[in-house]
Chain A
């Protein structure tokens, strides 16, 4: 240690110029090979059209209150519903004991954008497309969605309330990229 501080140019024992050149050549070769291979692997990512299909951007600001917009994504119907203040207030006070699959409101909506509920629109019992997107549709007793196949009922947050279904509606992976748009995937 004392030696190396005395002479900073000293080469460690057992390490000569040939070793340095070998390491330099191998490092250069590895960098070269990697930079050739990089675009080949990079190009295997989805192209622009595939990316738009894989991670679509959806405008949510045009959804009227108390209605849901349905989009098709990854082979599933995705329902995006705008809640009224009254619906949020009603959903917040529901006792957890009344729910077959207890879930707080904070786990059903995105923080900061609490008016929007994004769920997969398939009944978790018999996998049918749910009804209740429009206020004029049948919505069951809980103002949410109802399954036309087995009669399972969900509330505005997509929590199961009655029927053969036992689990809440699945929530797809999504992010609010701004207050008007969400990106799925």
Chain B
């Protein structure tokens, strides 16, 4: 049977298939940015994470988390490699997502009609942050255990509806069965992330202007670009796998958790450190949790905080956005600062100041 005939046969029986074929035949304006491939690469990384996570879940035992991961690394054939797939895949997924979010803020890609797509990307950030933190906790190492201990301790002091949600999520103070239920949430949230990324892509495509002028077909022009980007990603992945499999993961989780040894400070994987630094500034019953929610909320509200209308981004806005990037990077390093320096507070203040005051002000001024 000819390819065309096969496609016709399938398309008349399965609705989604014609959509996939149409995507390959889609005509686009030539010369798109290399950054346009980021969502597709993120999708590939999520697929790697799901596949390696499925293999890990065969051997993972939440009631002896640390020992079972040691078993995976040493007793399972190629288990050390699958574990590294999962850890490096998570690292690179966060790297690509942070890059995507930063670029969107820089070029103001969040403005109408793309604001729905932007909201989905922020939702993806929230879901991946929670999934990443759960993965860190599921390690069963010293860092993960005490992070979970603090989180459940704070959550148990909540009352009313938030308290009820916390109780459903954690099932009470940290104990033998806590990781068993957190494993289920880790997996569920990972599947949610796949759904969100598909929706975000569809919404972003819909928001783009109808291309005019000379057009090129997706296949093979853009497909070649996607494959080239994928090759670069694979190369980075392979280099990390071979030379730095534990890069940025924090040494603390390499030690088994002990209920008798409290670490001075918890070392998170690099992709959680900005959030941990920002949350650490706030104290009180559940200050950490509300700080993270507030940080995601200001990102979510960005399309409305931007008062520029249709004007292109100005120079001052660009400078401020780069400054925000540095601010977030510095927040990731706060555990390296001496205690009581006031720097974490300043950096956290700047994060919220940027979105709540500077963004409306500067975009309004530059549009005028």
Chain A interface (Cβ < 8 Å from any Cβ of B): 25, 29, 32, 36-40, 42-45, 47-49
Q: Tell me how far the C-beta of A45 lies from the nearest C-beta in chain B, rounded to whole angstroms.
A: 5
Bound complex: CA A43 to CA B86 (Å): 13
- Are B85 and A44 in contact, CB atoms less than 8 angstroms apart? no
Q: A25-B227, A29-B227, A39-B85 are in contact. Are A47 and B77 (CB under 8 A)?
A: yes
Nearest Cβ on chain B to A53's Cβ, whole angstroms: 12
* Alpha-carbon separation in the docked complex, A29 to B59 (Å): 30
| A contact face: mostly helix, strand, loop, or mixed | helix
CB-based contact A43/B55 at 8 Å: yes
B58 partner, pick from A38, A42, A44, beta carbons under 8 A: A44
- Given A25-B227, A39-B81, A39-B82, does the pair A44, B55 have CB atoms closer than 8 Å? yes
* Given A25-B227, A32-B234, also A43-B76 (CB < 8 A): yes
Q: Assuming A36-B48, A39-B78, is B71 touching A47 (CB within 8 A)?
A: yes
Smallest CB-CB separation from A42: which chain B residue? B78
In the complex, chain B residues whose CB is within 8 Å of the CB of A25:
227
CA distance A42 to B76 in the complex (A): 9
- Residues on B with C-beta less than 8 A from A42 are 77-78
B76 touches which of A32, A36, A38, A47 (Cβ 8 Å): A47
Chain B interface residue count, Cβ-Cβ cutoff 8 angstroms: 19
**Does B26 have its Cβ within 8 Å of any Cβ on chain A?**
no
With the chains together, A32 CA to B241 CA distance in Å?
14
CB of B79 closer than 8 Å to a CB of A: yes
B82 touches A47 (CB 8 A): no
* Chain A residues whose CB sits within 8 angstroms of the CB of B77 once the complex forms: 42-43, 45, 47
Verify if B87 is at the interface (C-beta below 8 Å from A).
Answer: no
CA distance A39 to B238 in the complex (A): 14
Decide if the interface of chain B is mainly helix, strand, loop or mixed.
helix
- Please name the residue on chain A nearest to B79 by beta carbon: A43
User: Within 8 Å CB of A47, what residues of B?
Assistant: 59, 71-72, 75-77, 79
**CA A29 – CA B127 in complex, angstroms?**
31
Question: Interface of B with A (CB < 8 Å)?
Answer: 48, 51-52, 55, 58-59, 71-72, 74-79, 81-82, 85, 227, 234
Contacts of B81 in A (CB 8 A): 39, 43
Asked if B75 and A48 make an inter-chain contact with CB atoms under 8 angstroms apart, the answer reads: yes
Least CB distance from A56 to B in Å reads 16
Q: How far is the CA of A43 from the CA of B76 in the complex (A)?
A: 6
Sampled A-B contacts (24; CB under 8 Å) = A25-B227, A32-B234, A36-B48, A36-B85, A38-B78, A39-B78, A39-B85, A40-B51, A40-B52, A40-B55, A40-B78, A40-B82, A42-B78, A43-B55, A43-B76, A43-B78, A43-B79, A43-B82, A44-B55, A44-B58, A45-B77, A47-B76, A47-B79, A49-B75
Q: Which residues of B contact A29 (CB under 8 A)?
A: 227
- Please give me the residue from chain B that is nearest to A38 by CB atom: B78
Which of B48, B55, B72, B77 is the most central at the interface, judged by chain A CB atoms within 10 Å of its CB?
A: B77
Sample of 10 more A-B contacts, CB < 8 Å, known A25-B227, A29-B227: A32-B234, A36-B48, A38-B78, A39-B85, A40-B55, A42-B77, A42-B78, A43-B78, A44-B55, A48-B75
**A37 neighbours in B (Cβ, 8 Å):** 51
A26 to chain B, nearest CB (A): 10
Chain B residues in 8 Å Cβ range of A49:
71, 75
Tell me, rounded to whole Å, the shortest Cβ–Cβ distance linking A46 to chain B.
8
The CA of A48 and the CA of B72, in the complex, are separated in Å by: 10
Contacting residues, chain B, for A39 (C-beta < 8 A)? 78, 81-82, 85
Give chain A nearest CB distance to B8 CB in angstroms: 25
List the A side residues contacting B76 at CB < 8 Å. 43, 47-48
Q: In whole angstroms, how far apart are the Cα atoms of A44 and B58 in the complex? A: 8
Q: How far is the CB of A22 from chain B (nearest CB, A)?
A: 9
Q: How far is the CA of A44 from the CA of B71 in the complex (A)?
A: 14
* Cα–Cα distance between A40 and B82 once the two chains are bound (Å): 6
CA distance A47 to B83 in the complex (A): 14
Nearest CB of chain B from residue A60's CB, rounded to whole Å: 27
